[in-house]
């Protein structure tokens, strides 16, 4: 833009010189820039991904303790799938996965139903006290399980939930899922136009009818993405599951793998790493398909709307 101006006042030759000089400078700057960026990218790539690489490498090597002498020297005859085989046949890993699926699935469905209603209320309706209710719900979302696991261990008993029941977890997970969903979906509701709603109202639909038939279908894409996000939140939960479930057959995978593969002072590292990787697969699959929604969910806590 700047060069276009100079081209008229000074001769073409002169302006060409200026451009080439500018280009040279840019190129010089670009070199240091590229170097700095490469170093930074490499650092972050190694920092964030090395543990995963190490998990994978450990899970497919036969002589794990021999790794201490030459950890990075891998020969093909060392490679094995025996850790995975042992994980799947000799431990309750598949059962833990099933438990996690059950808990994460049901808690997300229930939380979505409850959260959708309150999100509609806070995001779509105008009434006194709505703003305060929204703040209370958001504050609830910020209360960490560390403050609640002790009294909840008593409360779930006299609500009638049995010891070592997966339903205990499903109910308890609502405490952080419902506020999260309310927060996410109410901003979705705020973002959709009210034209259709008003048209339906003029045609004689009651508020309840308009809500179910007009507004909720409009945010279904949002509901689906929030469902998967809450699914991963449930899947990853540790403290409540660790506190409330003591029977090995009832553990979700996030606790089962950690608990069961250590016998005395002996760790089964190969199986542990195999279990850690396979136990992460469902959330990574969800994440890879819904990355943009995932990022939106991530920032929801920090950026309103």
Please say which residue, 11 or 35, places its beta carbon nearer to other proteins.
35
Contact flag: residue 255 with other proteins (CB under 8 A) = yes
Helix (H) or strand (E) holding 267: strand 266-267
* Stretch touching other proteins by CB under 8 A, among 19-27, 74-82, 87-95, 147-155: 147-155
Q: Measured in Å, how far apart are the chain's first and last C-alpha atoms?
A: 36
The DSSP call for residue 10 is S
185 binding other proteins? (CB under 8 A): no
Q: Is 137 in the site for other proteins (CB under 8 A)?
A: yes
- Strand, coil or helix: 161: coil
Which of residues 222 and 252 has its CB atom nearest to other proteins in the complex? 252
Sorted by sequence, the CB contacts under 8 Å of residue 188 that are 6+ apart come out as: 119, 123, 219, 222
DSSP 8-state class, residue 67: G
**Residue 122 or 184 having the CB closest to other proteins:** 122
What minimum distance in Å lies between the beta carbon of 201 and other proteins? 10
Closest distance between other proteins and the C-beta of residue 212, in Å? 6
- Residue 73 C-beta: closest distance to other proteins, Å: 11
Contacts of 47 (CB under 8 A, 6+ apart): none
Q: Are 74 and 54 in contact (CB under 8 A)?
A: no
Contacts (CB under 8 A) with other proteins, residues 105-134:
113-115, 117-118, 120-122, 125-130, 133
Half-sphere exposure of 163 (CA within 13 A, CB side): 4
Alpha-carbon 273 to chain mean position: 21
Task: Compute the distance between CA of residue 62 and CA of residue 58 in angstroms, rounded to an integer.
Answer: 8
Among 206, 263, 264, 266, which residue interacts with other proteins (rule: CB under 8 A)?
206
Element (DSSP H or E) covering residue 146: helix 145-158
Residue 102 interacts with other proteins (CB under 8 A): yes or no: no
Site for other proteins in 38-97 (CB under 8 A): 40-41, 44-45, 47-49, 51-52, 54-55, 58, 64-65, 67-68, 71
178 with 115: CB under 8 angstroms? Answer: yes
Name 267's bridge partners. Answer: 262
Should residue 266 be labelled a site residue for other proteins when binding is judged by CB under 8 A? no
- Using CB under 8 A as the binding rule, the residues of this chain from 3 to 32 that contact other proteins are none
12 vs 69 by CB, closer to other proteins = 69
Q: Does the footprint of other proteins cover residue 167 (CB under 8 A)?
A: no
Q: Which of 60, 64, 92, 52 is nearest to 268 (CA)?
A: 64
Give yes or no for residue 182 binding other proteins (CB under 8 A): yes
- List, in order, residues 6 or more apart from 52 with CB less than 8 Å away: 277
Q: Quick one: which segment of 77-85, 149-157, 191-199, 219-227 binds other proteins (CB under 8 A)? A: 149-157
289 near other proteins (CB under 8 A): no
Q: Is 213 in the site for other proteins (CB under 8 A)?
A: yes
Tokens 């894409």 correspond to 221
Residue 221 CB, shortest distance to other proteins, in Å, is 17
Q: Give the shortest CB-192-to-other proteins separation in angstroms.
A: 17
């Amino acid at each position: 833009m700047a060069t276009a101006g100079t081209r008229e006042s000074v001769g073409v030759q002169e302006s060409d010189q200026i451009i080439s000089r500018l280009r040279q400078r840019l190129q010089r700057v670009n070199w240091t820039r590229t170097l700095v960026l490469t170093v930074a990218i490499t650092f972050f790539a190694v920092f964030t991904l090395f543990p995963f690489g190490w998990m994978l490498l450990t899970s497919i090597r036969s002589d794990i303790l021999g790794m201490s002498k030459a950890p990075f020297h891998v020969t093909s005859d060392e490679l094995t799938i025996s850790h995975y085989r042992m994980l799947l046949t000799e431990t309750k890993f598949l059962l833990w996965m099933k438990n996690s699926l059950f808990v994460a699935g049901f808690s997300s469905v229930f939380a979505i139903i409850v959260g959708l209603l309150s999100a509609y209320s806070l995001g779509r309706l105008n009434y006194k006290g709505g703003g305060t209710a929204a703040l209370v719900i958001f504050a609830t979302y910020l209360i960490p399980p560390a403050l609640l696991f002790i009294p909840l261990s008593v409360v779930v008993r006299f609500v009638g939930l049995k010891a070592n029941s997966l339903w205990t977890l499903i109910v308890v997970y609502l405490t952080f899922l419902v506020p999260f969903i309310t927060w996410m979906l109410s901003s979705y509701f705020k973002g959709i136009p009210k034209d259709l709603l008003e048209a339906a109202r003029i045609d004689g639909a009651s508020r309840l009818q308009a809500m179910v038939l007009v507004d909720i279908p409009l945010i279904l894409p949002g509901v689906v993405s929030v469902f998967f996000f809450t699914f991963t939140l449930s899947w990853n939960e540790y403290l409540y599951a660790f506190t409330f479930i003591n029977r090995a057959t009832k553990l979700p995978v996030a606790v089962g793998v950690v608990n069961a593969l250590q016998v005395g002072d002996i760790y089964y590292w190969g199986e542990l790493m195999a279990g850690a990787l396979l136990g992460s697969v469902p959330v990574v699959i969800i994440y890879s398909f819904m990355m943009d929604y995932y990022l939106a969910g991530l920032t929801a806590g920090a950026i309103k709307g």
